Amino acid sequence: MNAQHPLPLIGLTMGDGAGVGPEVIVPAVLDPATLGRCRPVVIGDAARLRKAAVILGVECEVVAVDAPADAEFTPGRINVVDLGLLPDDLPFGKLSPVAGNAAYEYVRRAAELAVADEIDGICTAPLNKEALHAAGHVYPGHTELLAHLTGVEEVSMMLSTEKVKVIHVTTHIGLIDAVSRIEPGLVERTVRRGHEALVRAGDPNPVIGVCGINPHAGENGLFGYGEEEEKIVPALEKLRAEGVDARGPLPADTAFFLASRGDYDLIVAMYHDQGHGPVKVLGIEAGVNLTIGLPVIRTSVDHGTAFDIAGTGKAEAGSMIEALRQAAELSTAR
């Protein structure tokens, strides 16, 4: 963060231009609360943002800038590093390889800016994985793409809501593959990344609950084949010996309830649906996705491109506002 500016400079990637990204970005960037927390610069397509503003009935000035440092922050102004990759007649709500490629380029440019220290953090609007793949960029999602672009071998996905934070040991792989991949070293590294993120965000002694793999965390061998004892317990013993307050393995069917009432600051989920399901029940609109372990802060909305309502002005900007808030908070702490 530039010492002359107390507010962090956040690069906001526009995501898939055929989805709701432009429509949630416009109100989120113009929101006075956002401008009180950070200096957001969109990396995307200026014409598409103008079109979104018309759909929303919002009066604003969308200004193309060559670099984030050139941006000016005044009410009613949206700064955008304009890559100009979308045709004017790109329809909303339809899968497009052109939009998929553009979404990739927005993220690639943001990664370059972040590594060059031209922005303090990244906040991402949703991309469409099918469109991304159709454009020849075969990544499971933002998390893996950003890890590749920044040269990081291993990162973790964290979902954050007002009531609970969840970090995942495995994410976008099949359940059988996930159980196979889980091992003490991976569990330990995941817990450490979560612990470090909470400490960086201002919690010096977070309490971390670690889920088991099987129902009732195996219930002393009744369920499964000893996966908890083999894959999780050794990691927790090592972490606790080093002063990390990591508790478990916990039955996943109660861990999230206990976290929501305040018993745990962070839950460690072993696989995708174990963590995503409870968070999305709590409210997908309020959820934020964080990538932990990158050389830069990265947050995202916890919803998809919503092609069914794209271009209608119905998309809610609450998750984007929250994603920008958390990006600003973590980037300031950096």
Average pLDDT over residues 193-213: 92
CA dihedral 267, 273, 278, 282 (to 10 degrees): 110
202 Rama class: left (phi>0) / alpha (psi -120 to 50) / beta: left
Q: What does the angle CA 296 – CA 297 – CA 301 come to, to the nearest 5 degrees?
A: 140
Residue 285: what pLDDT? 55
The one-letter code for the residue type at 78 is: I
Whether residue 220 has pLDDT greater than 90: no
| 1-152+294-334 shares its CATH topology with 155-293 | yes
In this predicted model, which residue has the larger pLDDT, 130 or 302? 130
pLDDT at 3 over 90: no
For the stretch 235-289, pLDDT in tens is 999 999 999 999 999 999 999 999 999 999 999 999 999 999 998 887 655 668 8
pLDDT of residue 262: 95
**Can you tell me the mean pLDDT for 205-234?**
95
Which residue bears the tokens 């219930």?
A: 219
Which numeric CATH code is attached to 1-152+294-334? 3.40.718.10
Q: Are 25 and 12 in contact (CB under 8 A)?
A: yes
| DSSP code per residue over 253-301 | HHHHHHHHTTS-SEEEESSHHHHHHHHHHHHGGG-EEEEESSSSEEEEE
Per-residue pLDDT tens digits for 274-288: 999 998 887 655 668
Cα 25 to Cα 7, 80, 322: the distances in Å are 19, 11, 12
- Read off the pLDDT band of 333 (50, 70, 90): low
**What pLDDT score was predicted for residue 163?**
84
Helix (H) or strand (E) holding 44: strand 39-44
Percent of the chain with pLDDT over 70: 96
Arithmetic mean of pLDDT over the chain: 93
Q: Say whether pLDDT at 31 is over 60.
A: yes
Would the CA dihedral through 90, 82, 299, 183 be positive or negative?
positive
Predicted confidence at residue 234, as pLDDT, reads 98
What residue has token string 């950070």?
38
Structure confidence at residue 302 (pLDDT): 73
What pLDDT does residue 280 have?
Answer: 82
Is 179 a residue whose pLDDT tops 90? yes
Better pLDDT: 176 or 295 = 176
Instruction: Summarize the confidence of residues 150-176 as an average pLDDT.
Output: 91
Q: Stretch 62-72: mean pLDDT, rounded?
A: 97
Does residue 18 surpass a pLDDT of 90?
A: yes
| Confidence category of residue 124, pLDDT binned at 50, 70, 90 | very high
CA distance 299 to 275: 17
Give the start-to-end residue ranges of the domains of the chain.
1-152+294-334, 155-293
Pairing label, strands 77-82, 156-160: unpaired
Average pLDDT of span 56-71: 97
pTM of the model as a whole: 0.82
CA 150 – CA 147 distance, rounded (Å): 5
Q: Which CATH class is domain 155-293?
A: alpha beta
Q: Which residues lie across from 9 on neighbouring strands? A: 39
Reported confidence tier of residue 76, pLDDT bands at 50, 70, 90: very high
pLDDT band of 136, cuts 50, 70, 90 = very high
- The Cα–Cα gap between 245 and 9 comes to 33
Q: What is the pLDDT of residue 334?
A: 54
